[in-house]
Structure 1
Amino acid sequence: MNEKKHKGQSIHAASIVGEQFIKTIMDSTPNMMGYWSTDLRCRYANNAFSEWFGMPPEKIIGIRFQDLVSAQLFAQNEPHIRGVLAGEPQRFERTLNKADGSVGHIIGHYIPDFGADGTVRGFSIQASEVTGLKEIEAKLKLAACVFENTLDGVLITDVNGTILSVNPGFIEITGYTADEAVGQTPRILQSNRHDQAFYDSMWGEIEANGCWHGKIWNRRKDGELYLQRMTISMVPDEDGKPMRYVSVFRDITALWRKDEYIKHLAFHDALTDLPNRTLLMDRIDQKLLHAERERSQFALMFLDLDGFKLVNDRLGHNVGDDLLKDVAKRLLELVRRSDTVARVGGDEFIFILDNPQGRDEVAEVASRIVSSINEPIDVHGEAFQIGVSIGIAVFPVDGDTSANLIKNADTAMYAAKSAGRNNIRFFSTVGRVS
């Protein structure tokens, strides 16, 4: 009898220990756990549950559900309460006000407790606070929204340079779809306009500072080159080592072309697109430096069209403009890569012949110019014939500055014009015209 009683006491003690062990586990869990009977009175609440509502467990146990929460919250939960009392597990998300006044977000579960006869005798509540996760989720959604809707191209790679993700802006700019780009490397965009030193410098800056920004030429899927302004940023892991690389870029080709066009207009004649006086003077100065260094020479030929004013006055500026364009085209056909032809006035041009092999070669080129300009020019279906007078100054014998060379070639040109159409004159070393 004593043995049986002792055994019963041992079982009871073990049961108490077991209950205490389970209670310890439930009170230690960060999730809110509670139990409610069918009359909606609390029968159990763990520490997390108490902390959320700011009440000790003894005050929660026995309280009615509708007295613990606000009327608004009870109305929101009532459909789930009816569902769990009908034997159907419930899952829902809810934003709640905490006892300390802060707002928290939970994922809640109502789990029915069935008796031996299959009827529901209550339900347990398990709620996990996911406020931090929701904040992260909101930030990720915001980042994803920016990623998807920014007009800039965005490219994300792993540390090995394999493309992990691209945004619609990338697709619009490059012409590659996401399926075509992901798994490749940014080398699919390479233009071959930059040498290895450029890329070495770029990656050296990324390694040193964590980012690089600048301009780079790349190539679209259809082969077209485009200029982009780009930033590459290194995304570090917890140890500060590279984990991802993010490239954000914008197509600035149109802006660059506009800028280049403005620069071009500043140094070129608007009608013929030949170098203007500003660019001509720079070219002459460069020739002077080169010629002095290499002990070479060059000839400057001043051209003035014969008979152009008559055509321009009789038929108008439109015909005159087209005539000048055709003259420019003919002169360009005679220019070598190292030569220059510029328009410096209404019907005045200057031709720089680089390093001629003596006076005879200069005279030969000048004669070819005369012959070319003398060929009939067809403008709007009508043939015109004009001539050209050419004055020539040679560096260094006829001047050692751009101003002197132009002045002396101009003097020689007036002498040629005084002699009649299609004449060529050299400026002599003594200031006379030969």
Structure 2
Amino acid sequence: MWPEPNSSAAGGRMLQLISLFKDQGYSITFASPAQDSDFMVALAEYGVDKKSIALNCASFDVFVKELNPTVVLFDRFMMEEQFGWRVTDNCPKALRLLDTEDLHCLRLARQKAFKENRLFQTSDLMTEEVAKREIASILRCDLSLMISKFEMELLTTTFKIDKALLYYLPFLLEPITVSAFEQFPPFEERKEFVFIGNFLHEPNWNAVQYLKESIWPLIRKQLPQVALNIYGAYPSQKVLQLHQPKEGFLIKGRADKAQEVVSKARVVLAPLRFGAGVKGKLIEAMQCGTASVTTTIGSESMHGDLPWNGAVTDSPQVFADEAVQLYNDNKRWLEAQYNGLTIINQRYLKALFVEDFNKQILFLQANLQQHRITNFFGAMLQHHTLSSTKYMSRWIEAKNK
């Protein structure tokens, strides 16, 4: 997809990366085989050239060779699979970066374990089909941008990935100043609970089901007059069928202004039972001064040793009780709000990462040949990829003619 910052955290992440490179003086071209949508961002407003490209087509070779980029960033491993070998063929000196967003194999392995009603184990990753593709993509690239320190450790310990191929780059945010903090809607003006998340993302759909079946009835029993508003882009018919006004369970669909919706709510609920990466909905809650209740999966790698901006629990009853307490207790809610402010300002400020990231890029560009020699497994995969994926793509290209 083209970036849709109002639809998903991934869209916001991409704009943050664009801003990061623009600040360093780069000219940026964003190329995608995706169809245009009504919700995509206007890239021209960010000074970015937009280019539509085709899968399995030599036209990309002409395009990228003429462009001759110094840096190429792949948006998730699927794009590297499709276009990485063409970039290597036509622009061998270009630095190849991979933005993983989250570790897809981790999310899918956890999802599989959940559906099989068993605990996830790291050994599950070894049998996850996507892991083979994703790890190969990481190895073929010069550097992979990781949003989660937990996932970096998983890659280095479980898959033995060289740390030199990984770089921790979380969400890049502006600080929450005292004046901004004072402008947050106060506790008394906020009402109701909210869940927000793109329904194309399976963990979000599962979380809404969990809310409907197990958690919301427990909350509603204690707060019979309070509603839960469910927002999310691309809701399917099965999502819309959960709309139950008499139960205070309201499916609202896409939020035109997500931060406005979250800022008006008193508590964000995010009972995620599987997933990976850093959760944009919970970052957004902190940015809006809204308390949140989530699971250990939801809060994973997000707050370090800092206290959470609400509560973290995997028990449905405790989840409901914590949500009710935050909803009713002004003092507890203010403490949670302050915790969120602290997490943002200590862990996610763009200023904390800009200088070091630029140094890393410059270092790799100056030492690219040696860096690639050291990455033997990456070179080996490049060799085999150029002998298999390349010719499969050529075959499809010829077939399409």
- TM-score, normalised to structure 2, is 0.19
- Answer with 1 or 2: which has the greater Rg: 1
Q: Which protein is richer in helix relative to its size?
A: 2
Q: Which has the higher contact order (CA 8 A, sep 6+)?
A: 2
- TM-score, normalised to structure 1, is 0.18
Q: Which protein is richer in strand relative to its size?
A: 1
